[in-house]
Amino acid sequence: MYQKHFSRTANNSSRRNFTRSGGRRNDPKQRRARGFRGNFISIDKFINKTVPTIAKTADEYVPESSFADFKINDRLKKVIAQRGYKSPTAIQDKTIPHILEGKDLIGLANTGTGKTAAFLVPMIHKMMVNHNEKLLAIVPTRELATQIQEEFIALSRGLNLFSVVIIGGANMHRQISQLRSRPNIVIGTPGRLKDLVQQKKLDLSHFSNVVLDEADRMLDMGFIDDVKFLLSFLTKERQTLFFSATLPPAIENLVKNFLKNPVKISIKTQDTPSQIDQDIVRVKQGEDKIEVLYNLLKGVSFQKVLIFARTKISTEKLSKILYSRGFKTESIHGNKSHGKRQIALKMFKEDRVEILVATDIAARGLDIPNVSHVINFDIPATYEDYIHRIGRTGRADKTGIALTFVS
């Protein structure tokens, strides 16, 4: 375990620059007193050793079809092959045939299981068959919207299909101008999409396909009313796809009101991936939390590290402190513009920085290769948030390490 005792050598400037960095912060009574609204999570939930590789191999999913077997356009198959995709993931294998048949669908799967291609592949085929087909993809975060667009561009290369991303924090006039080009797919966050609908700059009556990706996350972020507003403008004769990690009651109500006889596909997995080695870092009373983190990060195994903090302010401060101590760091949080967030993510993906400090906006949907460690500097609000956070490591059959600071 990482429950080591580190010597207390923190300098006073670090303690001044980071609000409440002491070890008592994670006590439930302290959290309530300071306004933290998260659920209590047992420390045992943060400890889980990896499963040996031999054991994992026996449980690997064997798809029923290959991409070549799907009833999709041959040009699209060629693009998929050029992307290096041979065998579909479980969620792709189970959902693509139903989507191709035009059925409404609920896809339940953890993040990182290939949900984006699961809906993009059949929708691109649908657009190739009928160029008037349009897809609206509603997502909770700017980063996920951008990532879906990147995947769409890659999968539709040379197919004469176009996309627009409609998100807050970006130039609205440019987005309005791009909408005039009649894109095949509009990918957006609920707030900005609603703004443009209300301004009559976006007419949703022409969209006969809609995808809600990370539907439960949109509920958590308070977007449910905006989502209902947007869905009410779509044509009644449409295909509706919901992808989510969970299916809370509010989402079930959406399903009842907006989907017709949906097929439900659930890819059952354990709570946390078996290839992620999970442990705690215990901060003893009187120790400086940042100094404990600093001593950890000096280890040679910490090559590409994603650190989660609770607030926008603490995220930025922690990033600056680590930078001042010689680490190549960047940060992403809600106070940064979309452009700066994308630059920070790009630098982290390309290994130009070794540490990315983030709020929970980086916990879902983002595909960042080769993250060696996820560190929960602050305990997440819910266990579900924890699952999504640590899911940024141990991807593509690689092992990863997740560490959570506790006191």
pLDDT of residue 217: 82
Residues 6+ apart with CB under 8 A from 89: 61, 63, 113, 114, 117, 118
**Tokens 């085929």 — which residue?**
125
| Spatial separation of the C-alpha atoms in residues 254 and 252, rounded to whole Å | 5
Q: What is the pLDDT of residues 184-231, one digit of tens each?
A: 999 999 999 999 999 999 999 999 999 999 888 888 778 999 999 999
Task: Say if residue 11's pLDDT is above 50.
Answer: no
**And the tokens for 148?**
């879906």
- Segment 233-278, tens digit of pLDDT: 999 899 999 998 888 888 888 888 899 999 999 985 555 567 889 9
Domain 12-55+274-406 has CATH 3.40.50.300: yes
How many whole angstroms separate alpha carbon 332 and alpha carbon 338?
Answer: 9
Question: What is the pLDDT, as a whole number, of residue 36?
Answer: 46
| In the chain, where the domains are located | 12-55+274-406, 61-266
- Among residues 400, 397, 398, the alpha carbon closest in space to that of 87 is found at 397
pLDDT at residue 250 in the model: 84
Q: Exposed e or buried b for every residue in 16-42, given b needs 16+ CB within 10 A? A: eebeebbbebbeeeebeeeebebeebe
Please tell me the predicted confidence (pLDDT) of residue 236.
87
283-298 pLDDT per residue, tens: 999 999 999 999 999 8
**Strand positions, DSSP E, 201-301:** 209-213, 239-244, 263-266, 276-282
Helix (H, G, I), strand (E, B) or coil at 384: helix
At residue 269, the pLDDT reads: 57
- Say what the pLDDT of residue 398 is: 77
d(CA 278, CA 376): 11
CATH topology identical between 12-55+274-406 and 61-266: yes
The confidence band for 54, taking pLDDT boundaries of 50, 70 and 90, is very low
Q: Is the dihedral of CA 33, 38, 39, 44 positive or negative?
A: negative
Q: What is the mean pLDDT of the chain?
A: 84
Distance of alpha carbon 64 from alpha carbon 58, whole angstroms: 17
Mean local confidence (pLDDT), 368-389: 88
pLDDT value at position 355?
A: 96
Lowest mean pLDDT among 7-21, 65-79, 184-198, 252-266: 7-21
At residue 306, the pLDDT reads: 95
Q: Are 127 and 283 in contact (CB under 8 A)?
A: no
How does DSSP classify residue 22? B
Q: Which residue has the higher pLDDT, 149 or 395?
A: 149
3-class SS at 292?
helix
Per-residue confidence band for 44, with pLDDT thresholds at 50, 70 and 90: confident
Query: 172 or 268: which carries more pLDDT confidence?
Result: 172
Decide if pLDDT at 10 tops 60.
Answer: no
- Which token pair is 339? 């452009």
* pLDDT given for residue 91 in this prediction: 93
The reported pLDDT for the residue numbered 17 is 39
Q: pTM of the entire structure?
A: 0.69
pLDDT, position 30:
38
Which pLDDT score is estimated for 272? 59
What is the C-alpha separation between 362 and 392, in angstroms, rounded?
A: 9
Q: What is the pLDDT of residue 34?
A: 39
Sheet of 329-332, strand order: 276-282, 400-406, 373-376, 305-308, 355-358, 329-332
pLDDT value at position 43?
Answer: 78
- For residue range 300-344, list pLDDT tens digits in order: 789 899 999 999 999 999 999 999 999 999 999 988 887 888 899
Model confidence at 159: pLDDT above 90: yes
Is residue 160 scored above 90 in pLDDT? yes
- pLDDT at position 56 over 50: no
**What top-level class would CATH report for the domain 61-266?**
alpha beta
In 47-171, alpha helices (H): 53-58, 74-82, 90-100, 115-129, 142-155
